[in-house]
Amino acid sequence: MSPPKIPGLKVKRIRTAYWLPGTNYLEEILRTAGKLVRNGDILAVSEKALSIAQGNIVDESKVEPGFASQFLVRVWMRLCWGYLLGFLCRLKPLTMLRLRDYPQVEGARHKQLVLEKTGLLQALRFSSEGGVDATNLPYSYVSLPLPRPGDVAEKIYAAFQQRLKKSVIVLIVDSDKTYSFRRLHLSPSPTGVSGIRSGGGFLYYLFGRMFKLKPRSTPKAVYPPEALTVEEALNLAEASHHILGYGAGKTMWDVAEKFNVAMTEVTWKMLKETEHCPIAILRRTSSADWRRGN
């Protein structure tokens, strides 16, 4: 599938091998994108791919669920999200049906980990809770959000400056949405980008979906920080999301259906055989359409 045409931007999606834990992501980025970028280009990199490469993953099969996590699965996910909240947030009928059958054992372990790592406001969400994500990972593994995405962005920026003598803008992106109304930007997941309010978890998600605020993918870090306004960062993050795609699937249900296995039976081998595009180069042209989000 070719990346979409975006007014005001020239885009190049970079396909790589699946980044396993321990992958030298910096060398991979320099090797695959180094010859293609020009000074002033925006280099967008998937936060999840970076997190997996750093080994920032957890095996949920080893998590012991408690009473709260079991309640969240049996009542909150299956009933509240499967019916009322799903309706209020305008979820797709298929998503609501899946939530009504949310897995009890694996789901309780997942919610327990989310409670421990990110807190209750994130655990009340139905997916991508605080950046804890099982999509495009095998078995019972989930990835955690980068603890300091700004440091990673700076490291990539410095490598291009020092080793290739090229000045780029590094944008670390997450497909999880930020919801905007004029100058108010609410991200349910944590982000270090100035001008975006984060940490509201479920409350921000509910507010954004119920009142139809403008959804755009979330920029997790920009380096240099002053290189982009918050509007530019949000629009470029959304553009990057459309360019990079979903890997093996948008949700864990989709990934399992793609390989015709149970959700915890996806393997590293299956994922390695799937197209992965964790990097994109975005080059601004004379048009300003992308700045307005058109």
Amino acid 156: pLDDT:
98
Token duo for residue 195: 């001008």
Could you tell me if 53 and 25 are in contact, meaning their C-beta atoms sit under 8 angstroms apart? yes
Q: What is the DSSP letter of 75?
A: I
* 3-state secondary structure at position 288: coil
CA 220 to chain CA mean position, Å: 9
Give the separation between CA 124 and CA 121, rounded to whole angstroms.
Answer: 5
Amino acid 3: pLDDT:
54
The two beta strands, 169-181 and 214-223, are antiparallel
Amino acid 273: pLDDT:
93
pLDDT, averaged per 10 consecutive residues of the chain (294 residues), comes to 68 95 97 96 97 98 97 98 97 97 97 97 95 95 96 98 97 97 96 94 97 97 97 94 89 94 95 95 71 48
Q: How far is CA 226 from CA 9, 29, 146, in A?
A: 20, 23, 21
Give pTM, 2 decimals.
0.92
Q: How far is CA 203 from CA 34, 102, 135, 216, in A?
A: 41, 21, 23, 17
Amino acid 270: pLDDT:
96
Tell me the domains of the chain and their CATH numbers: 9-55+147-292 (3.30.1330.100), 58-143 (no CATH)
* 3-state secondary structure at position 292: helix
Give the separation between CA 293 and CA 45, rounded to whole angstroms.
Answer: 20
CA neighbours closer than 13 Å in the CB half-sphere of residue 2: 5
Cα dihedral angle (108, 111, 116, 118), rounded to 10 degrees? 180
